[in-house]
Amino acid sequence: MIAQIALDTPGLPLLDYLLPEGVIAHPGDWVVVPLGRRRVVGLVASVGTSADRSGGRGFELKAVERVCEDLPRVGQSTLDLYTFAAAYYQRTLGQVAATALPGWLKTPKVHEHGRSRPSRLRQLLSGTSVSEASEDGQTPQESPTPSLAAKSLPPLNEEQVQALEACLRESRPLLLHGVTGSGKTRVYLELLAEILARDHFAQALVLVPEIGLTPAISARIQEAFPNESLEVIHSGLSERVRATAWLRAATGRARILVGTRTAVLCPMPNCKLIVVDEEHDHSYKQQDGLRYSARDLAVWLGHRLSCPVVLGSATPSLESRAQAERGRYARQRLTLRATGAPRARTRIVDLIRDRPQHGLSEEASREIERALTRGEQALVFVNRRGWSPVLCCDACGWRQQCPDCSVPMVLHKRRSNWRLICHHCARQLPPPHACPECSSTDLQTAGQGSQRIEEALIERFPHARLARLDRDAVASPAALKDTLDRIERREVDLIVGTQMVAKGHDFAGLRLVVVADADAQLANPDFRAPEWLFATLIQVSGRAGRHDKGSDAGPSGTVLIQTRTPSHAMFVALEDGREDTLESYWGALLREREEAGMPPFGFLAAIRVSHAQADRAERGASEIFSHLLALISAGNRPVRAYAPVPRVPERLAGRTRWQVLLESSQRPALQQLLGEMAAALTAFRALEVHVEVDPLSLT
Ligand SMILES: [Zn+2]
Ligand SMILES: [Zn+2]
């Protein structure tokens, strides 16, 4: 017999190995095989007889060394998920399997065992045997009947009841659109109770976008289900802890799995519910290796398993909104804040009139002063995400946009000349010497002013205790917890934070939020930037005055947004603040995308290359571009390839980076072209080439 094994080898399809006498393997088994001089763990994709596989082969096949009997066999639905992900994201099945399997379990050594000595995995999971588990859900349960510790929970309100019923009734994914504090988690808990009670083997997967959010949600779930086995998976855990959690989920022992994006790839033999919390969050898209969207795979998996999928968010993504409009997702609104706290008031600060000092306006300074005097906490929100050099007028707020695409153009230095380049259509323009609107020569790249905001705050409020909440300052989950605890204990007066603060953390003493540089995000050349900014500003506003009980408990929260374009429709909507006004701005954003043929109304893929030598990267990109044009015209495909553009930053880690963007209104046509291109790309080995399907960013 011959087994086709999926190995973590980029570009290589399945490899054939001989199954020696007495070694029995099935699709979904993990095996140890020799590869070159190494021994590696791979996944059996299929098994055939030698007669129909070995014909014409002029060399001897290597043999499978052992089947990892301590790892549960991957079931058909999970194999299907891996196969789909590999095809869709233009990777090999082996690369998907390698992403799914925790690192420690990829070491052949841990699977070794002697006659009397169990493997290290079995020792790890000692007390229970692993091999008895299968995807038919025959694993014996350790826990008694599931019980929701309902006494400690508030009763569901009418909207929550409707959401629960919709989710259990619907065959479509449910978009649970609930304002901050409306009790989405309460709905998840009730769903878990229902699903776990129906079936004694049932498992549930709960995805969150960030490691930092796992402790809070897993604690809430465990508290509600004290008798249920819950495991957490994310990349911040030690190898062994992660491997154990993975094994417990993959053998059906863990009934609830909470995790970040890789958890969606963890095999769960009896998964009956998938929750994707904060579904709009871009962290669900993996940015290196297998560049997949965990949210999109969760929806695919839910469909494959015919199990309920809930996508929860206070600010649903335009993708999910479009799916709800098309009727592919059901939608339930939660409009009542469970805490009864009123929404924070938003005020726009016009930076043309109130000139900022190092990024801080006089009005913002005064409000911070006032908050500190009252003993409240203040948050200054700085947006450093995806910063690109885009020309803006400091005097009137004008921004250089592509005349064809209405997206900001990016400043690049090309052969000692500065050029403005559109990252969508690749159009180039010379930079203007003066602002075309007001003739001011004070043109700057957006976001410059806010770089020094932390120093400005220290200078202005020397006695305030300041904490930074961003990826640089808070590198580990432990450091994050420490900072959050200090904020909670009121040992911090002023918080300077990036997008990290917008994510679900709860600050009881916070009443004032200052958004320092909204303009820098409006000047972001990515078509998703306005959506992302709007969602972030709504999320950040949700942090202010969240625990206010109304007027008698003092003033409610305040949000100040500093901008040079106060009349921008987004800021007008935020200042108005009413739910229907915000919704109609979401509608406007969706129509803009539709008119531009951008996702979710069109489909994109980027082919990205890099090389240590600048000219070789550029040449490689144009060769790939020519190749694409030839394929497109030969096949008469409804796909458009745009000329190569340098990425932002052009040079990173000693390599020059370029990309070619592909666009189509038909997903299959784009997928087909990428499939044909895959073979051609192997000729560009000298470059580091990767394909990004559904890229989040155009830069
Ligand atoms: Zn101007
Ligand atoms: Zn353009």
Looking up residue 92, the CATH number of its domain turns out to be: 3.40.1440.60
- Please report, as a single letter, which amino acid is at residue 199: D
Predicted pLDDT of residue 340: 64
Dist. CA 386 → ligand 1 center (Å): 24
Taking the mean position of all CA atoms in its chain, how far away is CA 56?
Answer: 46
> Is the model's pLDDT at 553 over the cut of 80?
no
> Is the model's pLDDT at 428 over the cut of 80?
yes
579 and 479 within one domain:
yes
> Is the model's pLDDT at 130 over the cut of 70?
no
Which ligand lies nearest to the CA atom of residue 440 in the structure?
A: 1
Which ligand lies nearest to the CA atom of residue 392 in the structure?
A: 1
- % the chain with pLDDT above 90: 63
Instruction: Compute the Cα dihedral for 627, 633, 635, 641 and give only its sign.
Output: positive
> Is the model's pLDDT at 448 over the cut of 80?
no
671 and 645 within one domain:
yes
Boundary of a domain, candidates 595, 623, 656: 595
Predicted pLDDT of residue 115: 64
Q: Which two tokens stand for residue 595?
A: 């008119």
Compare 663 and 416 and report the one with higher pLDDT.
663
Dist. CA 51 → ligand 2 center (Å): 56
Write out the residue range of the structural domain in which residue 635 sits: 603-693
Three-point CA angle 643, 424, 677, nearest 5°: 50
284 and 221 within one domain:
yes
> Is the model's pLDDT at 650 over the cut of 70?
yes
In which region does residue 615 sit, left (phi positive, over 0), alpha (psi from -120 to 50) or beta (all else)? alpha
> Does residue 137 lie in a domain region?
no
168 and 304 within one domain:
yes
> Does residue 505 lie in a domain region?
yes
Dist. CA 410 → ligand 2 center (Å): 11
> Does residue 642 lie in a domain region?
yes
671 and 539 within one domain:
no
> Does residue 358 lie in a domain region?
yes
What CA–CA distance (Å, rounded) separates 260 from 500?
Answer: 15
> Does residue 35 lie in a domain region?
yes
Looking at residue 617, which CATH number applies to its domain?
3.30.70.260
Split into its structural domains, the chain has a count of 5
> Does residue 145 lie in a domain region?
no
101 and 88 within one domain:
yes
Where is mean pLDDT largest: 58-62, 203-207, 414-418? 203-207
Predicted pLDDT of residue 476: 78
Task: Of 420-429, 540-549, 566-575, give the lowest mean pLDDT range.
Answer: 540-549
Looking at residue 452, which CATH number applies to its domain?
3.40.50.300
Task: Of 198-207, 296-305, 383-392, 626-635, give the lowest mean pLDDT range.
Answer: 383-392
Dist. CA 423 → ligand 2 center (Å): 7
What CA–CA distance (Å, rounded) separates 82 from 65?
Answer: 24
> Does residue 149 lie in a domain region?
no
637 and 510 within one domain:
no
Which ligand lies nearest to the CA atom of residue 439 in the structure?
A: 1
Which ligand lies nearest to the CA atom of residue 438 in the structure?
A: 1
Boundary of a domain, candidates 85, 102, 124: 124
- DSSP codes of every residue in 572-595: HHHHH--HHHHHHHHHHHHHHHHH
Dist. CA 419 → ligand 2 center (Å): 14
172 and 242 within one domain:
yes
395 and 381 within one domain:
no
Boundary of a domain, candidates 334, 355, 370: 334
- Please report, as a single letter, which amino acid is at residue 337: R
CB 430 within 8 A of CB 420: yes
Compare 53 and 446 and report the one with higher pLDDT.
446
529 and 473 within one domain:
yes
HSE toward the beta carbon, residue 110, CA cutoff 13 A:
21
Compare 445 and 592 and report the one with higher pLDDT.
592
Average pLDDT (67-77) is 95
10 and 113 within one domain:
yes
Task: Of 110-114, 286-290, 631-635, give the lowest mean pLDDT range.
Answer: 110-114
Listed in sequence order, the residues at least 6 apart from 169 whose beta carbon sits closer than 8 Å to its beta carbon are none
Average pLDDT (412-440) is 90
Dist. CA 313 → ligand 2 center (Å): 31
> Does residue 132 lie in a domain region?
no
Predicted pLDDT of residue 520: 83
User: Cα dist. 55→52, 357, 461 in Å?
Assistant: 6, 76, 79
Verify cis geometry, omega within 30 degrees of 0, for the bond prior to 430.
no
Dist. CA 392 → ligand 1 center (Å): 8
Dist. CA 444 → ligand 1 center (Å): 11
> Is the model's pLDDT at 128 over the cut of 50?
no
Any idea what DSSP says for residue 357? B
What CA–CA distance (Å, rounded) separates 676 from 605?
Answer: 14
394 and 383 within one domain:
no
CB 411 within 8 A of CB 431: yes
Which ligand lies nearest to the CA atom of residue 401 in the structure?
A: 2
